[in-house]
Amino acid sequence: MTQTNTAANASPHVMIPKPDELDLDLYQAIARQGEICMQRCSSCSLHTHPPRYYCPACASPQFTFAPVSGLGVVYSYTVSHMSVEPAWQPLVPFLTLVVELQEGPRIVATARNFDISSVKIGMPVRVITEAKGTDFAIFWAEPQ
Ligand SMILES: [Zn+2]
């Protein structure tokens, strides 16, 4: 994945990475369906993230990108007090979460509408997506 726009006055909303292969398929499914999707094995129904060519449980190469609830809990987090990326510098300090979804996969999302001092491991959150064109989407996490 490469990033294409690093203009000094850019915001995260205009910095659009260029995913490829299975990541591109995932983001296109999200943009098309307008909701968070994860890879789902057609043989055993396991949800997987990031996408893989073969199911880690049954090795099937057959899968779809299916909508998931977006509901989960904080598995881990970090607070960024600086950023080398100009687009993120106005937003520091910001909170990045690893969210364990109810469906199983863990996903990295940037927190919004969050009091940084209130974050706790195990805290219920909702992950939502914001499509950026047809080939990429941002993952946001908000308190439930
Ligand atoms: Zn499987």
Find the 52 Cα to ligand 1 centroid distance in Å.
11
The whole-number pLDDT of residue 7 equals: 36
- pLDDT tens across 47-77, in order? 999 999 999 999 999 999 999 999 999 999 9
Within-domain flag for 8 = no
Find the 29 Cα to ligand 1 centroid distance in Å.
19
Find the 48 Cα to ligand 1 centroid distance in Å.
9
What CATH number is associated with residue 102? 2.40.50.840
Q: Is 71 exposed, middle or buried (0-12, 13-18, 19+ CB in 10 A)?
A: middle
Residue 42 has pLDDT above 60, yes or no: yes
The whole-number pLDDT of residue 69 equals: 96
For the chain, what is the domain count? 1
pTM for the model stands at 0.86
Find the 15 Cα to ligand 1 centroid distance in Å.
34
User: What is the domain range of residue 120?
Assistant: 16-143
The whole-number pLDDT of residue 17 equals: 85
Find the 31 Cα to ligand 1 centroid distance in Å.
24
Question: What do you get for the CA distance between the two ends of the chain, in Å?
Answer: 31
